[in-house]
């Protein structure tokens, strides 16, 4: 309710008269379409995040840059890290001393070559950092046929898979919290981490298979075998089970920033 309306209600009340509650006045103003955003500014509108769906590896990648402590306080190296949305596999990484578009360009070119997906449709999601939006980097993506996707400005959770990856990285028991002695040491540690994460780490988001197993499709047979083991265990000792066995089905799709129902309706109305 505008300030002057509240002021007038207060004066009326001071004279010993009560008309109605403020909520009632709000309701009447809304019904009469008299409740407007104050001043000449427009009512803030919630921006819909970009949403992407992956049903197989190498359809959607997400990437970001995190800082790694250096040998002295205030000195940092930068870890560029790119993961596949469907399998969570790290498809590319590099450590450099600075954040520059040329390093991002080198990373994406190597990742595309290593995954053997030149010319295949691919979405690359990131935040709004300067290397991500540099003209030379965006031009490279266009040449490679890669669709760029960005988080909303000043929104910290539009790139959740990369953020989760960095949390996993920095909570590793062997992560050097006091900093890396050199750029070489940082690269060596990152190499070991990626190898562990891709090939050894049983990812909870993948029903406890490794990202590489999910990336190659091996996870389907692994989960099916696991399911049979549980079914046999239940058949042998049904008294130990109060419910069904754990769902070991492989995930068929992974969504990045899935749209809410009201956002879907809004988008449909605007198209």
**From the CA atom positions of the chain, what is the Rg in Å?**
26
Clarify whether residues 66 and 136 are in a common domain: yes
Q: What is the extent of the structural domain holding 23? A: 1-38
Model pTM score:
0.77
Query: Which residue is it, tokens 């970001």?
Result: 64
pLDDT tens readout for residues 116-175: 999 999 999 998 889 999 999 999 999 999 999 988 765 656 788 999 999 999 999 999
Clarify whether residues 220 and 185 are in a common domain: no
Clarify whether residues 93 and 162 are in a common domain: yes
Clarify whether residues 115 and 68 are in a common domain: yes
Model pLDDT, residue 133: 92
Clarify whether residues 190 and 215 are in a common domain: no
Clarify whether residues 162 and 69 are in a common domain: yes
Query: Which residues make beta-bridge pairs with 61?
Result: 84, 124
Query: Which residues make beta-bridge pairs with 124?
Result: 61, 148
Model pLDDT, residue 267: 37
Clarify whether residues 221 and 104 are in a common domain: no
Number of domains the chain is built from = 3
- All residue ranges of the chain with pLDDT < 70 are 1-23, 25-26, 33-49, 153-157, 258-271
| CATH number, domain with residue 73 | 3.30.420.10
Query: Which residue is it, tokens 């002695």?
Result: 181
- Extract long-range pairs of 243-247: CB within 8 Å, 24+ residues apart: 247/207
Clarify whether residues 9 and 103 are in a common domain: no
Compute the distance between CA of residue 203 and CA of residue 152 in angstroms, rounded to an integer.
Answer: 28
Eight-class DSSP state of 203: B
Residue 159 lies in a domain: yes
Model pLDDT, residue 168: 95
Residue 263 lies in a domain: no
Neighbours of 24 (CB within 10 A): 10
Model pLDDT, residue 152: 75
Model pLDDT, residue 169: 96
Q: Are strands 122-126 and 254-256 parallel, antiparallel or unpaired?
A: unpaired
Residue 266 lies in a domain: no
Compute the distance between CA of residue 235 and CA of residue 219 in angstroms, rounded to an integer.
Answer: 24
Sequence-separated (6 or more) residues with CB below 8 Å from residue 42: none
Clarify whether residues 34 and 66 are in a common domain: no
Model pLDDT, residue 151: 86
Clarify whether residues 67 and 178 are in a common domain: yes
Query: Which residues make beta-bridge pairs with 54?
Result: 254
Model pLDDT, residue 31: 73
The pair of structure tokens assigned to 122 is 């691919």
Model pLDDT, residue 51: 82
Clarify whether residues 145 and 222 are in a common domain: no
Residue 157: C-alpha distances to residues 51, 83, 256 (Å): 13, 16, 11
Compute the distance between CA of residue 92 and CA of residue 82 in angstroms, rounded to an integer.
Answer: 5
Clarify whether residues 65 and 194 are in a common domain: yes
Model pLDDT, residue 270: 40
């Amino acid at each position: 309710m505008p300030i002057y309306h509240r002021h007038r209600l207060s004066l009326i009340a001071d004279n010993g008269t009560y008309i109605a509650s403020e909520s009632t006045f709000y309701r009447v103003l809304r019904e009469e379409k008299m409740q407007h955003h104050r001043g000449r500014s427009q009512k803030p509108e919630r921006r819909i995040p970009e949403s992407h769906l992956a049903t197989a590896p190498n359809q959607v990648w997400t990437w970001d840059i995190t800082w790694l402590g250096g040998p002295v306080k205030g000195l940092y190296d930068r870890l560029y890290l790119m993961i596949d949305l469907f399998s969570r596999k790290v498809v590319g990484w590099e450590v450099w001393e600075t954040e520059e578009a040329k390093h991002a360009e080198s990373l994406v070119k190597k990742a595309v070559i290593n995954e053997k997906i030149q010319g295949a449709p691919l979405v690359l999601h990131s935040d709004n950092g300067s290397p991500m939006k540099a003209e030379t980097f965006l031009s490279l993506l266009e040449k490679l046929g890669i669709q760029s996707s960005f988080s909303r400005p000043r929104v910290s959770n539009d790139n959740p898979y990369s953020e989760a990856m960095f949390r996993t990285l920095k909570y590793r028991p062997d992560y050097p919290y006091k900093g890396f002695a050199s750029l070489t040491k940082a690269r060596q540690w990152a190499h070991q981490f990626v190898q562990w994460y891709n090939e050894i780490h049983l990812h909870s988001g993948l029903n406890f298979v490794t990202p590489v197993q999910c990336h190659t499709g091996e996870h389907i047979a692994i989960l099916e075998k696991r399911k049979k083991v549980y079914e046999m265990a239940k058949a042998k000792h049904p008294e130990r089970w109060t419910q069904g066995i754990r769902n070991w089905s492989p995930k068929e799709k992974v969504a990045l920033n899935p749209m809410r129902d009201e956002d879907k309706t809004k988008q449909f109305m605007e198209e």
